[in-house]
Amino acid sequence: MVERYWEALKGVKDPEIPVLNIVEMGMVLSVEAEGERVRVRFRPTFSGCPALRLIRQEMEKALREAGAQEVEVVEAKTPWSTEDMTQEAKAKLLGYGVAPPMPLSMAEANPPCPRCGSLQVELKNPFGATLCKMLFQCAACGEVFEAFKTV
Amino acid sequence: MLDPYLKEALVARLTAWADDEVVLAQRLSEWVGHAPILEEDIAIANLAQDELGHAKVWLELRQELDGSDPDHLVFFRDPLEYQNAVLVELPKGDWAFTMVRQYLFDAYENLWLKEATKSAYLPLAEAAGRILKEEKFHLSHSSLWLERLGQGTEESHRRAQEALDTLFPYVRQLFQLLPTDEALVEVGVLPDLRALEAPYLEEVGARLERVGLRPPQGGYVPKSRQEHTEYLWSLLAEMQSVARWDPEAKAW
């Protein structure tokens, strides 16, 4: 039964990175079901994320469509980290043209260019089009690209 | 759990932090659509959004303690009830003023948040950890600007130095304790902000020197967070106007 709700949550996309769902982002901590009552613990990625309200609505909708009558979404306070993203999610980001987050131990290092793989990249701005990304330019191929912040 | 006195003290402390973030976010958002280049317009919108997110974190911690409604606190308190430091309410000025202020504030946040991750009050420790991750990017952004402004042109240097002359005394207010803070420090809930002033001055002083800027001596330091300049009134009037026109609105 719980499996079904997990599957439903995999249908909820991060509206700012629509190739990823919230489960592979590592945002869902637990799903408990008692009959048709479902309780989800999840944690937001960035504290100022404007998509939060939408994500909560989408979660509730998905769970109801999967058969839940009562849905409770609890926001956990433990900090989210890019370490919680699955390898598949990171690969999807790369395919999407966004440099995936680096391992936490290498948080200070620049990511390789997602287009040509060169390490000759330059930080243009620690902020990008969304809170979770920053802006780089590759010196080798000229590509201006976004990188997911390592947090 | 916290005893009633500590609870009240923590409510006051959380409010002060939240108010700093709310007011600074509002000042930053005034640049949206007006920043010198597109990338910076985007960056400053990000910064404003982050600071607002951090205010939300602090006010939700407060909500857990006293059941207060974060939106109501932000939109329906009058200027004299706001507990922000004067530093963040000063008008945005030119780009140098905004970036020098941001650097001074970011350096302070990075310092005290790091200490707060060791708080004996676990929800505070966790929140500080979350916010610190984001603040690192703020500091890297504003540090770069400090360097550009300090070592750019004669004009950028002059503007940055003028901003620093005005802003620096106000920074020292951030390290003052609220009357009720002492008790929180004693039980390890709050880092002793007074003890962070010396490391701050050392770190910030060294960076300023590297980019050719000099912190001024002396200057007026506000005595309490009840003190405000006239600028807070117009800032809040604008920020709160929509909420106050239609207090019953559920969505805007």
Summarised one tens digit per residue, pLDDT across range A6-38 is 999 999 998 888 899 999 999 999 999 998 999
Using pLDDT thresholds of 50, 70 and 90, give the confidence band for residue A47.
Answer: confident
Mean pLDDT over A102-109 rounds to 91
What is the chain A residue with the closest CA to B128?
A79
The DSSP letter of residue A140 is T
A66 & A127 share domain: no
Summarised one tens digit per residue, pLDDT across range A61-71 is 999 999 999 99
Of A16, A40, A75, the one marking the end of a domain is A75
Using pLDDT thresholds of 50, 70 and 90, give the confidence band for residue A79.
Answer: confident
A59 & A103 share domain: no
A69 & A134 share domain: no
pLDDT at A4 over 80: yes
**B57 lies within 8 A of chain A by CB:** yes
A8 & A66 share domain: yes
- The whole-angstrom separation of Cα B155 and Cα B161 is 10
Q: How confident is the model at residue A35, as a pLDDT? A: 87
Phi, psi of B40 (to 5 degrees): -80, -30
Q: How confident is the model at residue B252, as a pLDDT? A: 57
A70 & A100 share domain: no
Mark A33-49 as b/e (b = at least 16 C-beta within 10 Å): beeeebbbbbbbbbbbb
Q: How confident is the model at residue A107, as a pLDDT? A: 87
Residue A82 falls within a domain, yes or no? no
Residue A84 falls within a domain, yes or no? no
First to last CA, chain B: 37
A68 & A100 share domain: no
Using pLDDT thresholds of 50, 70 and 90, give the confidence band for residue A78.
Answer: confident
What is the chain A residue with the closest CA to B25?
A48
A15 & A67 share domain: yes
A115 & A68 share domain: no
Of A19, A46, A75, the one marking the end of a domain is A75
Mean pLDDT over A76-95 rounds to 92
Q: Is A47 in Cβ contact with B42 (below 8 Å)? A: no
Q: Which domains does chain B have, with CATH numbers?
A: 4-245 (1.20.1260.10)
- Residues of chain A contacting B47 with CB distance shorter than 8 Å: 127
A101 & A139 share domain: yes
A69 & A108 share domain: no
CATH number at residue A7: 3.30.300.130
Q: How confident is the model at residue B19, as a pLDDT? A: 98
**A140 lies within 8 A of chain B by CB:** no
Alpha carbon of A116: minimum distance to chain B alpha carbons (Å): 24
Of B42, B133, B141, the CB nearest to A129: B42
Residue A83 falls within a domain, yes or no? no
Residue A88 falls within a domain, yes or no? no
User: What is the Cα Rg of chain B in Å?
Assistant: 18
Residues of chain B with pLDDT under 70: 251-252
**Residue A138 near residue A113, CB atoms below 8 Å:** yes
Residue A89 falls within a domain, yes or no? no
Q: HSE of A91 in the Cβ direction (CA atoms, 13 Å)?
A: 3
Q: HSE of B57 in the Cβ direction (CA atoms, 13 Å)?
A: 31
| Cβ-based neighbour number of residue A67 at 10 Å | 13
Q: Is A79 in Cβ contact with B133 (below 8 Å)? A: yes
Q: How confident is the model at residue B240, as a pLDDT? A: 97
Mean pLDDT over A84-111 rounds to 94
A69 & A104 share domain: no
Tokens 């962070």, residue located:
B196
Task: Provide the whole-model pTM.
Answer: 0.91
**B137 lies within 8 A of chain A by CB:** yes
When divided into structural domains, chain A yields a total of 2
Residue-range definition of the domain harbouring residue A13: 2-75
Mean pLDDT value across chain A: 93
Residue A87 falls within a domain, yes or no? no
- The whole-angstrom separation of Cα A33 and Cα A50 is 28
A65 & A117 share domain: no
ipTM of the complex: 0.81
